[in-house]
Amino acid sequence: MSTIRFQALKETAGRKPVKVEELDRKSAIFGSNVFNDKAMRQFLTSEAYQAVKGAVQYGTKIDRKLADYVAMGMKEWALSKGVTHYTHWFQPLTGTTAEKHDAFFETSFDGSDPIEKFAGTQLVQQEPDASSFPNGGIRNTFEARGYTAWDPTSPAFIFGTTLCIPTVFVSYTGEALDYKAPLLRALNAVDEAATDVCRYFDKNVKKVTPTLGWEQEYFLIDKALAASRPDITLTGRTLLGHTSAKGQQLEDHYFGSIPTRVLNYMRDLENECMLLGIPVKTRHNEVAPNQFELAPIFEETNLAVDHNSLLMDVMQKVAERHDFKVLFHEKPFQGVNGSGKHNNWSLATDTGINLLGPGKTPMSNLQFLTFFINTIKAVYQNEQLLRASIASASNDHRLGANEAPPAIISVFIGQQLTKVLEELEGVSNGKLSPEEKTDLKLNVVGKIPDVLLDNTDRNRTSPFAFTGNKFEFRAVGSNSNCANSMTVLNAIVAKQLKDFKKEVDALIDSKKMKKDDAIFNVLREYIKETKNILFEGDGYSDEWEVEAAKRGLSNNKTTPEALKARVSKEALALFEELNVMNHVEVEARYEIELEEYAKKIQIEGRVLGDIARNHVIPTAIRYQNILIENVKGLKEIFGSKFEEIGKEQIFLIKEISEHISGINSKVEEMTEERKKANALETAEEQAAAYCNKVKPFFDVIRKHCDKLELLVDDELWTLTKYRELLFTR
């Protein structure tokens, strides 16, 4: 066995669960490292406190003087907790979080007057030298400055000994260079649009808050084993490896008892989350071996997105203490399930109503139906844009791969709600008769709550499912920043609600219809129009692909295909109308995502080529030499009869040679295709070439390598095997 594989296995076998300190009760420590309401009341003047509150609730600006007071309070709070540094914490388009730490410490140039300082200006704005973040050409090098600006709606927090201040990241000319800025604008758009629509039902509603509860799936692999695999180290997934004789077929992992080492990791992680105010609640084993899930209580969407980004960072850091590595990749192992990040989404009013939760009265149910049907319409009209929002090189492995929702976007609503929609469809055109209205109120709308309570049929194959009181967007990738999908979902719903309001108002004004007549009329038309997006069957089946094509739904299987929807005329107009992104910002993002796609495939191609040539082929030759020696020996002993006696060995020698030459020639061809792809002019062409010309070699090369893994003596094989990666913990 190679030294590295042997060492890794030995290290892993000797691991003991790391002891985790029992902290106080969760409710007692929750948020103690967050500059939350309690901390603000203690450390801010009432004027400064009101300023922050106003900014959070109504988006009012905080002036310079008050910002100074807030900074002072924040600093005092942080110092009282042993903090030495602060950072603007932001989410550039690299997909990870970024931070640059500065000490509170200041002194004059001769070293006198040392002091801890933090001014309002430092809180409000920073200029990280940001020319090395992806910007899609927005910032020319001569204008390389970008700046981060404080987002008071997401509270500052302490991690380690650093005060982290959530910020947006924008170019000097004001274009968004991060995930947060467009998200905030989309949330604002849906708040305005939804509040307007709510007022048909309740004049007291002043604000609508989109809510998000994500469910994070991940793999946990021993650190030493992960480090022994160059593919995991460099790409986050295995590029080769024969499937383990035992995989997930016994279905013995899902919800099974959690191994002690893992449980200790989870407890440690949960403690950290509590301190950071991330309300994690659920933990369990997932379907694949060494796969797990963690889910919080849902929150306001911007905060939930920040918490997910922060969590992914914290998960990796806590994993180090437990000698684990977290794999967030959507498909780290072939042949077992990949990981997703379900995004549970709804809209809540400041009057305490969940707009996607059926109510108690016919009127509140009509409100529910309004938001329910408008969401379906938004998805129907923008299915391609929604698909684009979850597109990435890694998520391509999952979508449509018979284990995750397909690349076709459809909506599942369940039998009972399907029936409700069918009945609503029969509503007569124009004004409704009193009898019809009574019937609707009593027998259709009035019945919804009873109906939903026993609505237990949950279709796990749907990418976008209604689950009782929220929609669950299931096609989101485990490794993605949910801001991307949430920006699009909230924006398309905002646009739809605006259009709905216009249509209803038009009926009220020009046709002199009553408000509820008008609403019923518009909803009826929507139900008719959007039928094609509703699908209750098996989303993994081949029949669905055929059926979806007939319905005119898109089935964009690869990222370069899917991303095109981002820059369609309709998409550009939609984002511009809502002030979510202007066309420069959208086009820059398109460019960045294509580049990222091409780079990911490029790196995978290089790593695969290296491993195949530097690990697999030399090992195969070593084993082949042993076989050759063996055959030579047989010849010595058995003379001319050796060919009969050594038949299998000779066959193996030939087989190994075939795989070796297969690998060599395919790696060669793949390298040529990479060169051609690199020479192409535009990001679009490059991404397409990497997708269609380079990527197809991966499977072919892998097949040869995996066959060799089966043939070659286990003692000689250098790469840690699937059974070791997946079943050691």
Radius of gyration of the chain (CA): 29
Residue nearest to Mg ion (CB): 342
| 191 binds, options Mg ion, ligand ADP, none, Cβ within 5 to 8 A by partner type | none
Tell me the C-alpha distance between 132 and 473, whole Å.
32
Sort 10 into a burial class: Cβ within 10 Å, 0-12 / 13-18 / 19+: exposed
Strand partners, 263: none
Minimal distance in Å, beta carbon 342 to Mg ion?
Answer: 4
Tokens of 543: 């029949």
Instruction: Look up residue 445 and give its DSSP letter.
Output: G
Q: Which residues, numbered 440-469, are part of the site for ligand ADP (CB under 6 A)?
A: 467, 469
Q: Which residues, numbered 465-484, are part of the site for ligand ADP (CB under 6 A)?
A: 467, 469-470
What number of CA atoms fall less than 13 Å from residue 176's CA on the CB side? Answer: 26
Cβ nearer to Mg ion, comparing 100 with 284: 284
**How many binding residues for Mg ion (CB under 5 A)?**
1
Cβ nearer to ligand ADP, comparing 295 with 701: 295
Tell me the C-alpha distance between 178 and 544, whole Å.
36
Tell me the C-alpha distance between 31 and 23, whole Å.
13
Cβ nearer to ligand ADP, comparing 279 with 560: 279
Per-residue binder mask for Mg ion (CB under 5 A), 306-345, x = binder: ------------------------------------x---
Q: Which residues, numbered 104-123, are part of the site for ligand ADP (CB under 6 A)?
A: none
Cβ nearer to ligand ADP, comparing 220 with 304: 304
Which residue stretch of 58-66, 295-303, 481-489, 570-578 sits at the interface with ligand ADP (rule: CB under 6 A)?
Answer: 295-303
Q: Verify binding: residue 298, ligand ADP, rule CB under 6 A.
A: yes
Q: Verify binding: residue 296, ligand ADP, rule CB under 6 A.
A: yes
Minimal distance in Å, beta carbon 462 to ligand ADP?
Answer: 12
Tell me the C-alpha distance between 384 and 343, whole Å.
18
Minimal distance in Å, beta carbon 309 to Mg ion?
Answer: 20
Cβ nearer to Mg ion, comparing 322 with 342: 342
Nearest to 289 by CA among 681, 661, 725: 725
| 354 binds, options Mg ion, ligand ADP, none, Cβ within 5 to 8 A by partner type | ligand ADP
Cβ(260)–Cβ(324) below 8 Å = no
Q: Which residues, numbered 349-378, are part of the site for ligand ADP (CB under 6 A)?
A: 354
Q: Verify binding: residue 213, ligand ADP, rule CB under 6 A.
A: yes
Cβ(670)–Cβ(694) below 8 Å = yes
Q: Which residues, numbered 238-277, are part of the site for Mg ion (CB under 5 A)?
A: none
Nearest to 670 by CA among 613, 587, 597: 613
Per-residue binder mask for Mg ion (CB under 5 A), 47-86, x = binder: ----------------------------------------
Minimal distance in Å, beta carbon 299 to Mg ion?
Answer: 16
Cβ nearer to Mg ion, comparing 215 with 222: 215
Minimal distance in Å, beta carbon 464 to ligand ADP?
Answer: 13
Tell me the C-alpha distance between 441 and 361, whole Å.
9
Which residue stretch of 88-96, 252-260, 292-300, 626-634 sits at the interface with ligand ADP (rule: CB under 6 A)?
Answer: 292-300
Minimal distance in Å, beta carbon 465 to Mg ion?
Answer: 9
Q: Verify binding: residue 60, ligand ADP, rule CB under 6 A.
A: no
Tokens of 52: 């922050």
Minimal distance in Å, beta carbon 210 to Mg ion?
Answer: 18
Count CB atoms within 10 A of the CB of residue 564: 17
Phi then psi dihedrals of residue 476, to 5 deg: -65, 140
SS3 202: coil
Tokens of 124: 């409000």
Sort 419 into a burial class: Cβ within 10 Å, 0-12 / 13-18 / 19+: middle
Cβ nearer to ligand ADP, comparing 386 with 440: 386
Tokens of 558: 């690869």
Tokens of 347: 């809209």
Cβ(538)–Cβ(544) below 8 Å = yes
Cβ nearer to Mg ion, comparing 342 with 397: 342
Strand partners, 166: 89
Give the amino acid at 594.
L
The contact set with Mg ion (CB under 5 A) reads 342
Positions that interact with ligand ADP (CB under 6 A): 211-213, 215, 295-298, 344-346, 354, 467, 469-470
